[in-house]
Amino acid sequence: MNTQDFLQEYQPAERILKIPTEFTFIFVEKSPKRYGGMGEYWYRWRRDIMLKLTDWVALYAAAHDNIRLWHDGQALQVYVVDNRASQDAVRKQREAMMETER
């Protein structure tokens, strides 16, 4: 998913990330390089977006216990969000709603 779309669609304070996968990996560049190739216009905010993503991770980690640093390299950090418990909760809630509808 595009990073800017991710930041706009998912709020770090929400109880459950409504992502339909068990794991979500978030890649954060430590110091984004300037981009000078084709489509340069679209990448000019790359540094700002990485700063916002770093803030998002910090806010999410403060409100949730299912995120951890998975990789810390020279150029980037990778975080993983374990959505398995959230997916189970959503599934149970749907099942409960289906039973009450009968």
Given a contact cutoff of 8 angstroms between Cβ atoms, the answer to whether 32 and 94 are in contact is: no
Please name which of 2, 16, 18, 7 lies closest in space to residue 56, comparing C-alpha atoms.
7
Query: Per residue in 69-92, pLDDT tens?
Result: 999 999 999 999 998 876 566 666
Tens digit of pLDDT for each residue in 37-61? 676 666 667 888 899 999 999 999 9
Percent of the chain with pLDDT over 70: 73
Reduced to 3 states (helix: H, G, I; strand: E, B; else coil), residue 38 is coil
Domain count, the chain: 1
* Tokens linked to 75: 């150029």
Residue 32: helix, strand or coil by DSSP?
A: coil
Instruction: Show the domain range for 27.
Output: 3-101
The DSSP symbol for 64 reads -
Residues 6 or more apart in contact with residue 1 via CB below 8 angstroms: none
